[in-house]
A and B are shown apart, each in its own frame.
Chain A
């Protein structure tokens, strides 16, 4: 730089580099399982508080990993009728339902050309282990359309090895567009009420436009249906992380 004097400018040391360690930052934004968030209603919060205490108690004894709809899990349950008294099932999680202790998740797999789905209860004492073999998200929250998709999209090897994953990486989103069997399907997935983004619709244009007849564009602006969970989530997340650390 040109100074007013003509003498060389005063030495300014270069600015110190700011090191942002992403690993420590990500630990604060921990995943909160969706069954902790109470549903929208007029029930007393005390009921949900007591349920949460029981859920945390179970989580201290048994580790329930973080998983999403669309990832592959292997669940070992205690079964009095199985050899070795325990049975293992591997499948893709297509739905997570229920709140509180009755939270469930449905795993789907195709074994010997037969599609099998099992609905497991997360907090059931019969479950002995839950392993996440492949952690990933999909474009939709509900993958029930896999029942009407070609079986190759629901087949997963029973002896597949867990896919290694670093702790601080973002959860990958699998943007696969699933191809469907010919219609009729169990539900009319092309209708806007299901809002499915993960299907490659090979239907003619006029059918897709006819399906838009059932769209309800006013629903997203309906104020009586609003349920903002951000503040409730923050409180519950703090509560849960404090209790789990004890």
Chain B
């Protein structure tokens, strides 16, 4: 990304899709951007669902890491990472290579399928 500001994910942030889905990995002349955060505040942290605009389509996604420093003992990533998701909550990709924070395990019920495809945990 170009800007260096450390903030969590909100409307119009450029994000990085980390799973191996076709939608997330095919190159396009515009980076995927967040257009809505499903949250009371418009600020998305790890574990929040957002609406992404990729390749001219709208897709839901789950935040798995952001540049903003969080509580101590939790990891802070160098890029805003996101995993593409269906409306039902099923991930579109089949593998996630980048490390995922352990805090997502707290909501094992909602994110079980995403945690199942994740390889590394931090």
Q: Does A24 count as interface, using CB distance less than 8 angstroms? A: no
**Residue of B at shortest CB range from A113?**
B98
Quick one: which of B6, B73, B78, B98 contacts A118, CB cutoff 8 A? Answer: B73
**Which residues from chain A contact B81 at a C-beta distance below 8 Å?**
114
Q: Does A186 count as interface, using CB distance less than 8 angstroms? A: yes
Question: Hey, what's the 0/1 contact readout for B29-73 against A, CB within 8 Å counting as 1?
Answer: 000000000000000000000000000000000000100010011
**Which residues from chain B contact A82 at a C-beta distance below 8 Å?**
102, 105, 121
Q: Are B102 and A81 in contact (CB under 8 A)?
A: yes
A191 to chain B, nearest CB (A): 15
Stretch in A35-43, A119-127, A200-208 with 4+ CB within 8 Å of B: A119-127
A103 to chain B, nearest CB (A): 11
**Which residues from chain A contact B105 at a C-beta distance below 8 Å?**
81-82
**Which residues from chain B contact A118 at a C-beta distance below 8 Å?**
73-76, 122
B72 to chain A, nearest CB (A): 5
Q: Are B69 and A114 in contact (CB under 8 A)?
A: no
Docked pose: A126 CA to B120 CA in angstroms? 21
Quick one: which of B65, B73, B120 contacts A124, CB cutoff 8 A? Answer: B73
A20 to chain B, nearest CB (A): 45
Chain A contact residues, CB within 8 Å of chain B: 77, 79, 81-82, 87, 89, 104, 111-121, 124, 126, 147, 184-187
**Which residues from chain B contact A186 at a C-beta distance below 8 Å?**
4, 6
Q: Are A77 and B73 in contact (CB under 8 A)?
A: yes
Q: Does B2 count as interface, using CB distance less than 8 angstroms? A: yes
Docked pose: A117 CA to B2 CA in angstroms? 20
Q: Are B121 and A116 in contact (CB under 8 A)?
A: no
Q: Does B94 count as interface, using CB distance less than 8 angstroms? A: no
Docked pose: A79 CA to B18 CA in angstroms? 24
B8 to chain A, nearest CB (A): 15
B109 to chain A, nearest CB (A): 13
Shortest beta-carbon contacts, A-B, top 3: A115-B78, A81-B105, A186-B4
A180 to chain B, nearest CB (A): 13
Docked pose: A211 CA to B81 CA in angstroms? 34
Q: Can you list 18 A-B contacts with CB-CB less than 8 angstroms, sorted by A residue number?
A: A81-B103, A82-B102, A87-B102, A112-B97, A112-B99, A114-B79, A114-B99, A116-B76, A116-B77, A116-B78, A118-B73, A118-B75, A118-B76, A119-B69, A119-B73, A124-B72, A147-B78, A185-B4
